[in-house]
């Protein structure tokens, strides 16, 4: 359901959110930690910068960092910054008879998209980091102090 671009953007944001707010990371270290190809990651990072999720500085001491508080940044914010969720507002088949009202099938599909949008909108990046799950993450991004405390339990 979600594209590779969304997956990569979420990995990068979670990686940056797990660091101290002032810490900057270069694209090489983000790519290595998140297991995202560097060339692809560069495109994703540009999109995140253009939407104000992260910022970047060039030169010595430069790199990328999160610009928003992980407690207020939602998964939906990240998803919509790279590939906005597409709601169904008109008949995908272009049927004139459905112009003002979706058919039952497309109405239900749109309701499913709405529920995904709502859930992602109420899930913050901080909550993702603090989740006490015992499953091992795909990438070895640094754990926040909250996550480390949960992992030790």
Quote the CA–CA distance of 85 and 151 in Å, as a whole number.
33
Question: In the chain, at which residue ranges do the beta strands (DSSP E only) sit?
Answer: 54-57, 63-66
The whole-number pLDDT of residue 20 equals 87
The whole-number pLDDT of residue 32 equals 93
Q: What is the CATH number of domain 4-135?
A: 1.10.10.10
Quote the CA–CA distance of 139 and 104 in Å, as a whole number.
41
Under 8 Å between Cβ of 71 and 95: no
pTM of structure: 0.81
Question: In 28-150, at which residue ranges do the beta strands (DSSP E only) sit?
Answer: 54-57, 63-66
Under 8 Å between Cβ of 18 and 143: yes
Under 8 Å between Cβ of 45 and 7: no
The whole-number pLDDT of residue 3 equals 93
The whole-number pLDDT of residue 10 equals 96
The whole-number pLDDT of residue 139 equals 55
The whole-number pLDDT of residue 136 equals 53
The whole-number pLDDT of residue 146 equals 46
27-32 long-range contacts, CB within 8 A, separation 24+: 27/63, 27/64, 29/63, 30/64
- Point out the residues of the chain with pLDDT beneath 50: 144-153
> What token pair was written down for 73?
């940044």
């Amino acid at each position: 359901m979600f594209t590779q671009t969304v997956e990569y953007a979420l990995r990068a944001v979670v990686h940056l959110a797990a660091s101290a707010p002032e810490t900057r990371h270069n694209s090489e270290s983000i790519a290595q930690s998140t297991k995202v190809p560097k060339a692809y990651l560069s495109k994703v990072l540009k999109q995140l910068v253009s939407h104000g999720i992260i910022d970047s500085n060039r030169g010595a001491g430069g790199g990328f960092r999160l610009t928003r508080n992980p407690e207020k940044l939602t998964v939906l914010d990240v998803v919509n910054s790279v590939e906005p969720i597409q709601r169904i507002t008109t008949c995908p088949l272009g049927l004139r008879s459905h112009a003002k009202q979706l058919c039952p099938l497309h109405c239900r599909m749109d309701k499913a998209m709405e529920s995904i949008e709502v859930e992602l909108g109420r899930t913050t990046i901080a909550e993702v980091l603090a989740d006490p799950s015992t499953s091992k993450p795909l990438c070895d991004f640094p754990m926040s102090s909250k996550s480390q405390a949960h992992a030790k339990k």
